[in-house]
A = this chain, B = another copy of it.
């Protein structure tokens, strides 16, 4: 654990700036005095693209490599054609820095609104593969715009890529009290990728006899997310399925305003990146209405990744306590950040 953190900050678009400010506030409040925090802001996102046409220039990609970690707010704006910033910036970072573990915890905190009747106990973690699957940009379009167009998207899955994320998920499952790991895929239809995932899962499972394993098709998994979410402990799944089920997981655990994520390279070869699951929400940007909790919980994941376990836990406890005392009165982005900064400093 280093006594300094050299953090890259990409506030991005919409509410990104506002929520990141609160994340940094809490980070400053929780860090021990002797830890030196340096931050450098990177101006990337929709405004930059409008101004210069750039999404992520090589120089900035190189500069980002020098940091210990990256905190990202939100990227995207309706004024930018769909896909430009997602592929050119957000996914480019995940791929360039080989963020193969996309970590997304889901917990139903006390006193938090859930659309589910009966308030089931929900406390699971999705380990979403982050560098393969249908997200590789592999594919194309032939005779574009004509009645004879053919558009393809290729899901690419390698033994190398699947095994490393499956191993990571088994290790995480083993470290949790319930020690249960569920593989989510669709191996009855996507048979080639499905067999690779299932065989790899079964092979690694043999090395973790104390971890209980389970397999669910992705369609069935969505059913259990709403009827029996307590059955899940750790889930490992492919990039696209992980995208879909983690939004659903966020919805049933109090909404996207609380969902944190880490794009992690466990080898440390490149900086890992932490971001709320939510988008830039341009409709409420600049109004102090955004809930910064997801960003603040992402800061906890960042701290844990850098070895500051006690500080990460303190943030999570503060969020839990803060949510428990929320009485439905609307608070500003800033007020929530202040409250949490106060708690972790205390």
Q: In the complex, what distance in Å separates the CA atom of A188 from the CA atom of B46?
A: 14
With A82-B188, A116-B115, A223-B247 given, is the CB distance from A145 to B199 under 8 Å?
Answer: yes
Task: Find chain B residues with CB under 8 A from A153 CB.
Answer: 134, 154-155, 157, 190, 192-193
A-B contact pairs, 14 of them (CB 8 A): A76-B188, A82-B191, A116-B117, A134-B155, A134-B189, A134-B190, A145-B199, A148-B158, A151-B193, A154-B155, A219-B244, A222-B247, A226-B251, A227-B255
Q: How many copies does the complex hold?
A: 2
Task: Find chain B residues with CB under 8 A from A194 CB.
Answer: 82-83
Interface centre among A140, A146, A246, A252 (most CB of B within 10 A): A252
Task: Find chain B residues with CB under 8 A from A256 CB.
Answer: 223
Q: Which residues of A contact B (CB under 8 A)?
A: 76, 82-83, 86-87, 91, 114-118, 134-135, 137, 139-141, 143-160, 163, 186-196, 198-199, 218-220, 222-223, 225-227, 240, 243-248, 250-252, 255-256
Q: In the complex, what distance in Å separates the CA atom of A145 from the CA atom of B159?
A: 8
Q: In the complex, what distance in Å separates the CA atom of A135 from the CA atom of B191?
A: 10
Measured CB to CB, the nearest residue on chain B to A243 is B219
Task: Find chain B residues with CB under 8 A from A155 CB.
Answer: 134, 139, 152-155
Task: Find chain B residues with CB under 8 A from A143 CB.
Answer: 159
Q: How far, in Å, is A183 (CB) from chain B's closest CB?
A: 12
Q: In the complex, what distance in Å separates the CA atom of A139 from the CA atom of B153?
A: 11
Contact partner, A87, options B82, B114, B118, B191, Cβ 8 Å: B191
Measured CB to CB, the nearest residue on chain B to A279 is B220
With A83-B191, A186-B240 given, is the CB distance from A196 to B134 under 8 Å?
Answer: no
Q: In the complex, what distance in Å separates the CA atom of A250 from the CA atom of B76?
A: 32
Q: In the complex, what distance in Å separates the CA atom of A130 from the CA atom of B43?
A: 43
Residues A147 and B160 in contact, CB atoms below 8 Å apart: yes
Measured CB to CB, the nearest residue on chain B to A146 is B159
Residues B220 and A140 in contact, CB atoms below 8 Å apart: no
Q: How far, in Å, is A74 (CB) from chain B's closest CB?
A: 13
With A83-B188, A87-B189, A116-B116 given, is the CB distance from A244 to B227 under 8 Å?
Answer: no
Residues A149 and B139 in contact, CB atoms below 8 Å apart: no
Contact partner, A91, options B76, B189, B220, Cβ 8 Å: B189
Q: In the complex, what distance in Å separates the CA atom of A199 from the CA atom of B187?
A: 31
- Known pairs A148-B160, A153-B155, A219-B247; list 13 more (Cβ under 8 Å): A87-B189, A114-B117, A115-B118, A148-B158, A153-B154, A153-B157, A153-B190, A186-B243, A218-B244, A220-B247, A222-B247, A222-B251, A223-B256
Residues A196 and B151 in contact, CB atoms below 8 Å apart: yes
Residues B141 and A195 in contact, CB atoms below 8 Å apart: yes
- Please provide the 6 A-B residue pairs with the shortest distance between their CB atoms, ordered closest to farther: A219-B247, A149-B159, A222-B248, A83-B191, A117-B117, A223-B251
Q: In the complex, what distance in Å separates the CA atom of A299 from the CA atom of B109?
A: 44
Measured CB to CB, the nearest residue on chain B to A83 is B191
Q: In the complex, what distance in Å separates the CA atom of A83 from the CA atom of B222?
A: 20
Residues B196 and A223 in contact, CB atoms below 8 Å apart: no
